[in-house]
Structure formats: C-alpha cells, structure tokens
Amino acid sequence: LSDIAAVMGLEVDNAAIHGATTGLTGIYAESGVNAVAFGGAITFAKIVEMETAIAAANGDISTQAYLTTPNIRGAGKTTLKFSGAGANGPIWEGNEMNGYRAEVTNNVSKVMNSSTKTGGSSHGIVFGCWDTLMIGEWGAMEITADPYTLLGQGMVRVVGYLLIDEKLKYG
C-alpha cells in the first residue's frame, strides 16, 4: 500500500507542476507566472534573468528555490557561469544555483503544451517561492481492494482515490 501512496504523491506533484486534464491548472499554465525562454542550453545569464523577473514582479517574498530535471542538473554541473579566464565555477554547485537551493525531479518534464499536456524538446526549470504553492486535499487518500471485478482471472483490483486542488497563493 505504501507503494500506491507514493505513486499517488508523485501524481499530486506532477499535477501541481503541469496541471491535469481534470481541471488542475499547474504552475506551467498558471496565469501571472513569469516565463523566461532559454532558447537552448542552460546559461548563468538566463538563471539570473529568472531571478530578476521574479524580483521585478515583487515575487521574491519568501525562500526561493529551483526545481528542474536531472538532465538540467547534469548540464549545470558541467557548464561554467562565465566564459573566459578568471574565477569561475559551474552554474550548479552542490545543491544550489546562484546561491538558491536547487532540487531535481522527473516530474518537471519537458516543456509542455498547456492545452494538450504533450511534451516539447526543452527541459524545464522552475524558480519560485515554493511555500506559496497551495495544495488542498479533500478527505483522505483512499486505497480500496476490490476482490470481485477480476475474480474470474484470480486477481484483486486495487483502486486509489485522492481529491486535490492546487493554486498559487499569489498570482
């Protein structure tokens, strides 16, 4: 049962980031969210542009962090902040980018079309105040064993239910 609960938790995260076909908007399609087009590989200038866009919109109101894919972390660890000589280091150092916490998940997938929920060709980077993402849950997670539906095949059907909604506190 804990495996089923873990999978349902991953789906909650995925829906909060990308939305769902059942009405959840998700961060990627939320109105008022700043977007910075990278147009290619990760660069330190684009990372700073993301931070600047949030600050210019008075959005740097709490602890901020990056969330991205394992691919972006790998690229960030091998891409220098600045070209040329001098003091320099990679964009991603330890678990940070430019002094902000940085985490990875496979739930931040390739950039998605908000209406069709289909993938694109670029990996996403989300930067923001994660404590302003509100996830509401109605009732409790329910996991039910149904021994009757697949009885003729000698199997038990397991069904999970979870009612949630998400919204950005500010936006």
Residue 86 falls in which region: left (phi positive, over 0), alpha (psi -120 to 50) or beta: left
Give the strand pairing for 96-97 and 92-93.
antiparallel
pLDDT score at 160: 83
pLDDT score at 111: 55
Burial class (CB within 10 angstroms; exposed 0-12, middle 13-18, buried 19+) of 72: buried
**Residue at token pair 């109101």:** 61
Taking a C-beta distance cutoff of 8 angstroms, is the pair 88, 79 a contact? no
What global pTM score does this model have?
A: 0.78
Rounded to the nearest 5°, which phi and psi values hold at 123?
-80, 145
Taking a C-beta distance cutoff of 8 angstroms, is the pair 129, 67 a contact? no
Per-residue pLDDT of the chain (171 residues), as tens digits, is 688 888 888 888 888 888 776 777 788 777 777 778 777 788 999 999 999 988 888 888 888 999 998 888 999 999 999 887 666 899 999 999 999 999 998 888 665 454 444 455 567 888 988 888 888 888 888 888 999 999 999 999 988 888 888 888 765
